[in-house]
Structure 1
């Protein structure tokens, strides 16, 4: 004789198992994804900056000026005559990066900007986050030869770089937006393809440069510079820069030229969060007068 309670008991057990198995799935669906795959964390471009600020605090304009002053003193000593040193080893030492070891490498940091010469296809400029600006004159060679152009500047932190109307003219913004150790927030200009540079021009309280664009539609280059402390503009070939009042208290991320005019993406950002998560929506601004005035 069959037991009349068995079907009910089995149904209860199956239901309980279903709820038990469904709970983790529901919980997992409610959570934000925290990894790309097993044991691999998601990319966070602000993580380095967050750690630096927790460890060292905010970089102020006074600190930037002091660091630039010390760097200039160091460069003066470096260029002074002195004893010659000969390397006796070791060479090609391994270094650790992201938990693994590789040898015979030079690490200049992340790529910030790649500029292909508009006339000579053999000339390419490559700006890095920590190693400054580099140039090759033989791009099509199997192994192009690269020359660094910015080792004599007070900082090698790269923000962005752009050509002027003359491709021998370069406008270089210093300061990687994701690393405050190599402080920047300054502009320099070269008229000879990066062989020499003008003195630094500071951009208000900015400590980094996120984007540089040049309007070449007039007799003089108009330079637009995006920073974490607003948008700066030069109407005289990069000789002088002034802050655009529309972007006071805003972090400007990028600038692009379109058929409608110049566009800039920006967001209101408290000073303590500049460069990190500002907590505000990004707004697009448009300018139809070469960056002089802007409207959302």
Structure 2
């Protein structure tokens, strides 16, 4: 690991100013992803700014939704009574992530900002435009079984690893950000970027900006929800495909629906057209099959991830069936 300076911030403005003034600095909270990247030489910050003493760990009801501080732990958030009552889909997604030990360290803000687990990104001996712009994408012609079906470019076909972010995308969350230019709000769907020609940029955050909280609006999606994660082992594995599914039912008729996929794109992949296809339909397997068909329009696989073209729609159908039958 490269040498680095360590400073502990006690005020948000001091942390933001320190980060904005040094392009080689990084914020650190739980460090469950950043420290791994530093050990492997993938990221080499010269200064770490510890933000754990900032007052951003509260989970509280505000206005017409929940406000979850960026420093709230994943485990604390998943077990919070208000989250379980008002956003159970989020709790399910959080509990699907990593291991219990990591959830006890990882923060909500850090979870949003974790970086891809593409092996070409992690191995500094291999080409990766995300790690070293202009070096090429080794996954394009390499081993790409974990890689994207949607939204990729010829510069990068990596996928975003967060389970929590898939649920937040489905729930129309809003991210609160503070930076050198003041505070602003981002729709969750606008936080992460598609790779395009700049795959080294994961998000639309500006230099020095710090996520302070995420807001989850009240909704009817408090009962018929399910987060389905398909992975190679039962724990501590990233999704091959995941589905955040939520239904609002009037009897057996679908009044509203939310769907998002994980493991298939550079960002959580919201399925707006598939959601629309469900509204007004009976909650039947036929309706779910049609939604899955709509969801997969435009999907394209590579040599080693062809299986996802079958796995993803099957997972959508199963997640919707589980959500519809949830008590």
Please state which band the TM-score falls in when normalised by the shorter chain: under 0.3
**Which structure has the highest strand share of the two?**
1
Q: Which has the larger radius of gyration?
A: 1
TM-score (norm: length of structure 1) = 0.26
Structure with higher RCO (Cα < 8 A, 6+ apart): 2
